[in-house]
Amino acid sequence: MTISESDASLVDSTGTDTIVELRDTSVSFGMDRGESRVLNEVNIDIERNEILGVIGESGSGKSMFASALLDAVPAPGTTTGDVIYHPEDGDPVDVTGLSKSELKQFRWEEISMVFQGAMSSFNPVRSVRTHFVETLSAHDYDVDAGIERAKDLLEDLYLEPERMLESYPHELSGGMKQRVLIALSLVLEPEMLVMDEPTAALDLLMQQSIISLLNEIQEKHDLTIVFITHDLPLVADLSDRLAVLYAFEFAEIGPADEILERPAHPYTRALLNATPNLSAPLEQMRPIEGESPDPVNIPPGCSYHPRCPLADEQCKSIDPGPYDAGDSRNHDVYCHHWEQSIDDLERAFTESNSDDSPATRNASHSDDAEPLVSLEDVEVQFGSENDGWLDFGESDVVTAVDGISFDIYENDVVVLVGESGCGKTTLGKTAVGLQRPTDGTIEYKDRDIWKGSSGSSTLEDEEIRRALQIVHQDPGSSLNSHQRVRSILSTPLNRWHPDLDGNDRRERILAMLEYVGISPPEDYIERYPHQLSGGEKQRVALIRAMLVNPDLILADEAVSALDVSLRVSIMDLMIELQDAFDTSFLSVSHDLSNARYLAEKTGGRIGVMYLGELVEIGSAEQIIQNPQHPYTQALRWATPELEQDDDPDENPIRTIDVPDQKNMPSGCRYHTRCPDARETCRTQKPELVDLSNEDGVQRTACFRVDDDHEYWDSEPITDDAVDGDEDDDHVNVSG
């Protein structure tokens, strides 16, 4: 519905070309223990044709902000305040006053939304074409014309239109599904696109590719984009403006360059300090002390004051701002002390850090040290040929790990990085005895861990089973939801330390909870997992692994499910526990920034995997600052940074999508995506070459590191040659 003349004072009061404005907008849910206010009287003007990045921790109100823009808050939630949409032609529209039929039209034709989980947005039994046809038909659009537009959109997103339209969702990779979803959201030509964590489940290269594509799509189709994420570096280069949410309210809104260079709110500064990245010194990365408030009990005054080192009596009682902190355009900050300099903020945060970050260590082993765990030519295959009675008549075999060798030493850290499907987790599980290799050997202290297991897929040696442990990616699913923390942590003690009585077990558990910062432990020991925050769950999972005094822990994406603000804290805890228990870590990560922090802090190594092979391994310094393999260079390029780059490097990768693992490329497996590939790369497989020097250890599998290799005399591979010779259905994307 259009708004009345009496509400004219609400409309476009900024003087700018506003497309949507929110005034005192709140979202609340009634609960037994009180009203849960998950968006608290926010005010913002979204400008036409801008890209607005909305940043915040989990539970800060980001998704509720997105839902409020479309009046799509799920029942029994209620939206109050004003959400006014300004079409380019016509009268302003009161979004919260639209009828159901008007909302149905509005949500796709004026403002469209891309949700976080692409797979859950598709009907798995309907083809992609059917999804487009149903959307067009529901809005009385010309289906034939709409399908032609869909083809253009898919092509803009570097997808093959005909192949995509005839595919079913399960036949597409995560990146393909996300791009198809973007095309589907744009098929009705909306004015504004709201994206709620659209790249959260994607790899670095796919994230960066989609970010680049969004810039192109936004310019071509004159879109306004609201990009919602917890990952600040991801939108640093993409956004025109940033809006920082904390505790269901905006803490700071302003031009992206100003907020990144001169953050005015202490929370924004803390968020920048807590974000792992590749360029900042490690000592500048610090976790945010304390926890976000409960939506039922939001603190009075400034909601950040319980965690803020600058807080005084005024902050505790008076709601701040907005204050105008802008240099050129509007820069609103909700802080009484916004005029204090960045140096003052840094000094306050440094003084408030009660727990010092673990000191950076040198390499944790000498050249003549004996390996703790040694992998030699390890191969792991999956497929019907290895499934025995689970043979469904297919002969396809996928080699997840192919001939990998490396050693892990006592008190060592090795971080495996690479895209999804490259074999990181499979290799990690094989190293700790959770997956039996198809070929090759794994030795623990010179003992073959599978010797005597008589063909079983379960490790039978009790000592080795205790020595090799795992911490899973999602602590919520790895902790028994029906057991209290006391029972969860008692289980490993009951099995491996049966001599302890009940009191001893309880005291040991309480001591560990206190050690990792879960206090008061007497309270937490009786809680269930759903009563813990994400960081607390991961701490409990770490304690469970540590209680058996293991020699090696596989940390499988142990921080990827956590907010950026928690990652440094958990990685610091891992390092402290390693020092206390003399434990080694084999960590798995798709995030090069996290890998750098953990490996550089501990003097460990980073191993880069691609399609089942180890293509480069070395010290954090060498891998980050001097990558030699083109794939490592591509990962380095794709890793988002906080500093905005006015002259970004050219895209160092030829194609977005990873080859089909059932049809591996010949020779160097990366040659189908490598911009430097030559004919030799198509036919010959490179071996790891030792490039270690005084700056650190480094081994690289690339012909380019050898100045005398025949690679230099062979012909470059063109894009057409790759597409014509490799049966992988790739779509080229130039830099």
**Residue-wise pLDDT tens digits, 619-648:** 999 999 999 999 999 999 989 888 766 666
Q: For residue 735, is pLDDT > 50?
A: no
Q: Does residue 5 register a pLDDT over 60?
A: no
Q: Is the pLDDT of residue 25 over 90?
A: yes
Please spell the DSSP secondary structure of 35-66, one letter per residue: EEEEEEEEEEEEETT-EEEEE--TTSSHHHHH
Look at residue 280 and tell me whether its pLDDT is greater than 60: yes
* Minimum mean pLDDT range among 179-188, 336-345, 374-383: 336-345
Structure tokens at 506: 């309880």
Q: Which of 340, 264, 296 is nearest to 28 (CA)?
A: 296
- Number of CB atoms found within 10 A of residue 662's CB: 11
Query: φ and ψ at 224, to 5 degrees?
Result: -100, 130
CA–CA distance, 79 with 336 (Å, rounded to integer): 28
What is the spatial distance between Cα 717 and Cα 53, in angstroms, rounded to a whole number?
39
CB 657 within 8 A of CB 732: no
Per-residue pLDDT reduced to its tens digit, 714-725: 999 876 544 444
Instruction: Quickly state the pLDDT bin for 321 (edges 50, 70, 90).
Output: confident
Q: pLDDT tens across 185-232, in order?
A: 999 999 999 998 888 767 788 888 888 888 888 988 889 999 998 888
Residue type, 166: E
The Cα angle at residue 113 between residues 108 and 117, in degrees rounded to 5: 135
d(CA 331, CA 324): 6
Task: Among 37-46, 95-104, 234-243, 319-328, name the one with the lowest average pLDDT.
Answer: 319-328
Q: How far apart are CA 690 and CA 448, in angstroms?
A: 27
Q: Is the pLDDT of residue 349 over 80?
A: no
- So what's the architecture of 373-625 in CATH? 3-Layer(aba) Sandwich (3.40)
Pick the CATH number of 5-239 from 2.60.40.1180, 3.40.50.12780, 3.30.230.10, 3.40.50.300: 3.40.50.300
Residue 352 has pLDDT above 80, yes or no: no
Least reliable range by pLDDT among 40-44, 196-200, 570-574: 196-200
pLDDT the model gives residue 386: 45
Residue 354 tokens read as: 């009660």
How confident is the model over 525-539, as a mean pLDDT?
Answer: 89
What is d(CA 126, CA 72) in angstroms, rounded to the nearest whole number? 25
C-alpha span between 45 and 26 (Å, rounded) = 15
* % of the chain surpassing 70 pLDDT: 89
Going by DSSP bridges, is the β-strand pair 605-610/413-417 parallel, antiparallel, or unpaired?
parallel
* Residue labelled with tokens 């230099």: 712
Mean pLDDT of the chain: 87
- The whole-number pLDDT of residue 117 equals 67
Among the listed ranges 62-66, 170-174, 505-509, 578-582, which one has the minimum average pLDDT value? 170-174
Instruction: Give 732's DSSP letter.
Output: B
Place of tokens 């936004």: 218
Q: How many CB atoms lie within 10 A of CB 361?
A: 16
* pLDDT reported for residue 43: 95
pLDDT tens digit string along 674-712? 999 999 999 999 999 999 988 889 999 999 999 999 999
In sequence order, the β-bridge partners of residue 93 are 2, 85
Q: Are 95 and 192 in contact (CB under 8 A)?
A: no
β strands within 306-412, DSSP E: 323-324, 332-333, 373-383, 397-408
Pairing type for strands 18-31 and 34-47 reads antiparallel
Phi and psi angles of residue 405, each rounded to the nearest 5 degrees, phi first: -135, 130
pLDDT exceeds cutoff 90 at 31: no
pLDDT given at position 728 = 39
Look at residue 343 in the predicted model and tell me its pLDDT: 61
| Whether pLDDT at 365 is above 70 | no
Split at pLDDT 50, 70, 90, the class of 30 is: confident
Contact 556, 425 (CB under 8 A): yes
Give the pLDDT confidence of 378-429 residue by residue, as tens digits.
Answer: 999 987 554 444 444 455 788 999 999 999 999 999 999 999 889 999 999 9
pLDDT for res 378: 97
Q: Residue 199: what pLDDT?
A: 81
**The pLDDT value given to residue 645:** 65
Q: How far is CA 138 from the centre of its chain?
A: 34
Judge whether residue 327 has pLDDT over 70: no
Residue 617 has pLDDT above 80, yes or no: yes
Start-end of H helices in 110-173: 128-138, 143-156, 161-166
pLDDT of residue 251: 95
- Across the strands, what pairs with 83? 22
Residue ranges of the chain that CATH labels 3.40.50.300? 5-239, 373-625
Average pLDDT of the segment spanning 332-348: 76
